[in-house]
Structure 1
Amino acid sequence: MKKTLFVLTLLSCATSLAFGQLSSAEKKNGWKSLFNGKNFDGWNQKNGKAKYEIRNGEIVGITTANTPNSFMCTNENYGDFILELDLKVDDRMNSGIQFRSLSTDDYMKGRVHGYQMEIDPSDRAWAGGIYDEARRGWLCMPEDRPEAQNAFKHNDWNTYRIEAIGNTIRTWVNGVPISHLIDDLTPSGFIALQVHGIYGEMKEGMEIHWRNIKIKTENLTPSPYDDCPVVNLLDNDLSAQEKAQGFELLFNGKDFTGWRGVNQDGMAEKHWIVTDNNEIQVQASDGSETGNDIVTKAQYSAFELKFDFKLTEGANSGVKYFVDESYNRSGKSGIGLEYQVLDDERHPDAKMGVVGNRTLASLYDLIPSIKLDKRFQKKIGEWNHGRLVVYPDNTVQHWLNGFKVVEYTRKSNIFKALVARSKYKKFEGFGEADAGPILLQDHGNNVFFKSLKIRTLN
């Protein structure tokens, strides 16, 4: 009889926990359950008409034909929090977890919008990335990071974690850090479970299961810093993790401290200003004088450089590295490897060179950039995010808006052959210096830069 009672007690406890009840240790640690395992008390559905059911203490979302994205939303809004839950999704189905999200009559007639942690079992493998639903689109993708792209388990349960503390938003899939975003657009909003409208390989009746949905809102302790790349959307700002990773600002948002004109001791006197918005602006000239390039006073060998830039219509500029000021260009125009900054549609330089090697983000006049996904090519007047990485083994990468678009090996035989067929062939040892400054180019057009950050790589 005692044995029977003991078994019944264990079954009762297991059932209780399965229905969204927290353990005593979790409660003591400040966790609260967002789902009681029995009904949708505390939740409401917005936008689409996808089916949501409760089975075995789980929320089940089911794809439904002829309906847009659907969201099962918390009634309560949350600002700073740590959220954890388990989920399992059919392959080829798309979904996500909304947080700090909104639905207001004055925005797209109540369309749910805000941050989303991606649930992506496709070959793209962006699970855990951060998408800005119905607003800015993709903010963080685990592109070219195998440890992050392999964290998601197909046809199995996955543990998702979101830390939203102040302006810092971080995500994990099964304990692997995926995204690290610094942003201040939306400080608070509801949490929602998305069932995406049917598209692509999706079919009606596909399912996603959520369980063990719990949240902490008080006495929050951020996870330790790690090597996850940071996407920082605050202007000229260094986050704590960026500092821990060794980044420093190349532009302080106020003046040109740390910069000088090419072949000059002081700053270039023409065309360069800091705007009221704390941005570097190279001003358009009448064409009578260009080439007032500026360079960092410091020199760099192996490094990672991040920078934001904005083009005006028909503009041309560039970010150069391993600049050698001994090459004679009559004073103020620097020669070095160049990350091209260009309006491809309207500037004639894009049609020159060979196979597009003078287009945006290319290694100018040497290697064309591969820009495959049109969604990540910004319109003129919008900010682009550039990233330039030079590894100690001389592997070099150009990145544009989260995608690697160029990769080559500096000083290699292939590199030397490319130089020999380029406009740089007359400059002996071009691009092969062990160190050099970073350069911003004055090409006579109106271009803006901000959030320039660099770290050395060992």
Structure 2
Amino acid sequence: MNPQNMKAIKLIYFLTLISILTYSCQSPTNNKQEDGWTDLFNGKDLSGWKTVMGAADFQVEDDVIIGFAKANTPNTFLVTEEDYTDFILELDLKIENLSSNSGVMVRGQFDPSARDGNGLVYGYQIEADPTERAWSGGLYDEARRGWLYPLDLNPDAKSAFKMNEWNHYRIEAIGNEIKTWINGQEVSYVVDEMDTKGHIGLQVHSINNPDDEGNKTYFRNVRVKTENLDPKPFSSDLFVVNTTLNTLTDLEKDKGWKLLFNGESTDGWRAAYKDEIPSEGWQVKDGLLIIKASDGSESMTFGDIVTEEKYSAFDLAFDFKFSEGANSGVKYFVTLSENNVGSAIGLEYQILDDEKHPDAKMGLDGNRTLASLYDLIPAKKSGRFVKGPGEWNKGRVLVNTDNTVTHFLNGVKVLEYKRGSDEYRSKVAGSKYKIWEDFGEAEEGHILLQDHGDEVHFKNIKIKTLH
């Protein structure tokens, strides 16, 4: 063989060897594309992933990760070995059976020592919900706080997820904001500072019925971008769940939201029937607006406070924390025209310790319990969405321009009625409010925070005027 051919063969051999070594050293979880995206799934095996917590099986077939449901085992998660901080995640997900609840962990946490050494996954999970409830794309705080963004807060997005079809998820976790899309539709927006870093995970939910064993959940095209992030702005006027203290996002400001409490003073508030704030009882401390405990009586010690402004159609959100056995309320359409003794008259979002305060067992059919329209309409709520004494609850009152009113508790719709309707007036006629002419039907009124003699804390009070 002539020397030139020998050199050529050696060169080809050397280049081939370099190519093989380079390919073998590449991590399947670090397959970076020219546009800055990295494939987290190589389409062939589960390199870069590990299964934790439950005993459900994950397999790879035809460039797809398939999770197989297994009865009588905890939720099972396929999680990345690498942790991620700020990122944009995209993937496709398909569910074929109503029993196959699933989800995507973002900045997920794993404690291997929990549950007697069996491990526990917890943290932010973006839901995949095939049931009639249809909360896919909502944000659930797995094994910790529960639902942060139920889709009662964005009912238009309940139709985004398609059963038996591939659904494209886009999830942005940038700074303290987490935003989600399904099939291009804006779904949820949460501002929270609990976790800043963690794994990405795919869930096969636990099942109890052996007949559902083997049902499949499918995942494909799992990719992440961690540099030069280009967040996608929301265009719709969806509700933002913001757990940070007395702040508004740029989206909220653009859509007309305003803080009713700035966290530093009682500016914008005054005593009911007076021109200034009560001299005692109400205090601002550590960004909270607090009514101190007194004797448990209704507005007889320190007194209620009301907004200086009046509101007609509006969206009002507020966080509240009550002490054990406490009674209080947030009233709206308060006109201050009755000159009555005790608390000013108005429609009331009830704040109550249902377990310890006797008022919960009074009234009719529970219409004096937490989140109810006091003495008129009971709140239909599940215990899993109620936070007890010493815990923060999120309240919301939505009054539309057609006089339809909705109460929410921790993001879940608990009642709806229409001011001035025959049904509404019938309930008023059977209540303690029947002595007040046209009760609750004023065109506008103040927002009121009640002093009922018990300690209650408020924060994150915000309002948007509707037109």
- TM-score norm. by structure 1 comes to 0.90
Match of 2:294 in 1: 285
CA distance in 1, matches of 2:413, 2:58: 39
For residue 333 of structure 1, what is the amino acid of its counterpart?
A: S
Match of 1:317 in 2: 328
Match of 1:15 in 2: none
Matches within 5 A, 1:202-213: 203-213=212-222
Report the Cα offset of residue 390 of structure 1: 0.7
For residue 352 of structure 2, what is the amino acid of its counterpart?
A: L
For residue 415 of structure 1, what is the amino acid of its counterpart?
A: Y
1:438 to 415, 440, 447: 447
2:314 to 297, 303, 319: 303
Match of 1:347 in 2: 357
Q: C-alpha offsets along residues 230-278 of structure 1, whole Å, 9 cap, x if unaligned?
A: 11111212122222221111111111011000111111112111123x2
Match of 1:338 in 2: 348
Match of 2:264 in 1: 254
Matches within 5 A, 1:7-406: 27-92=33-98, 93-105=100-112, 107-108=114-115, 109=117, 110-143=119-152, 145-199=154-208, 203-225=212-234, 226-276=236-286, 278-286=287-295, 289-290=300-301, 292-330=303-341, 333-371=343-381, 373-406=382-415
Contact 1:97/1:116, CA 8 A, preserved across alignment: yes
Contact 2:314/2:465, CA 8 A, preserved across alignment: yes
**What value does the CA root-mean-square deviation take over the aligned residues?**
2.1
Contact 1:251/1:451, CA 8 A, preserved across alignment: yes
For residue 325 of structure 1, what is the amino acid of its counterpart?
A: L
Report the Cα offset of residue 148 of structure 1: 1.1
Report the Cα offset of residue 223 of structure 1: 1.4
When residues 409 and 115 of structure 1 are mapped into structure 2, their CA distance, relative to the original with a 3 A threshold, is: same
Contact 2:177/2:190, CA 8 A, preserved across alignment: yes
When residues 281 and 456 of structure 1 are mapped into structure 2, their CA distance, relative to the original with a 3 A threshold, is: same
Matched, 1:454 2:463: yes
When residues 224 and 202 of structure 1 are mapped into structure 2, their CA distance, relative to the original with a 3 A threshold, is: farther
Structure 2 residues without counterparts, runs of 5 or longer: 1-27
Report the Cα offset of residue 125 of structure 1: 1.0
CA distance in 2, matches of 1:65, 1:396: 42
Contact 1:291/1:333, CA 8 A, preserved across alignment: no
Match of 2:435 in 1: 426
- TM-score norm. by structure 2 comes to 0.88
Report the Cα offset of residue 421 of structure 1: 2.6
Q: Could you say what secondary structure the match of 2:93 adopts?
A: strand
Match of 1:17 in 2: none
48-57 or 435-444, larger mean C-alpha shift: 48-57
How many percent of aligned residue pairs carry the same amino acid? 54
CA distance in 2, matches of 1:202, 1:158: 26
When residues 36 and 406 of structure 1 are mapped into structure 2, their CA distance, relative to the original with a 3 A threshold, is: same
CA distance in 1, matches of 2:370, 2:237: 28
Q: C-alpha offsets along residues 329-377 of structure 1, whole Å, 9 cap, x if unaligned?
A: 24x7311111111112221222222222211111112222222x22112
Contact 2:406/2:413, CA 8 A, preserved across alignment: yes
* Number of corresponding residues: 434
For residue 193 of structure 2, what is the amino acid of its counterpart?
A: D
CA distance in 2, matches of 1:245, 1:50: 44
Contact 1:317/1:341, CA 8 A, preserved across alignment: yes
Structure 1 residues without counterparts, runs of 5 or longer: 1-20
When residues 287 and 27 of structure 1 are mapped into structure 2, their CA distance, relative to the original with a 3 A threshold, is: closer
CA distance in 1, matches of 2:171, 2:455: 40
CA distance in 2, matches of 1:336, 1:202: 53
When residues 334 and 149 of structure 1 are mapped into structure 2, their CA distance, relative to the original with a 3 A threshold, is: same
Q: Could you say what secondary structure the match of 2:173 adopts?
A: strand
Report the Cα offset of residue 99 of structure 1: 1.2
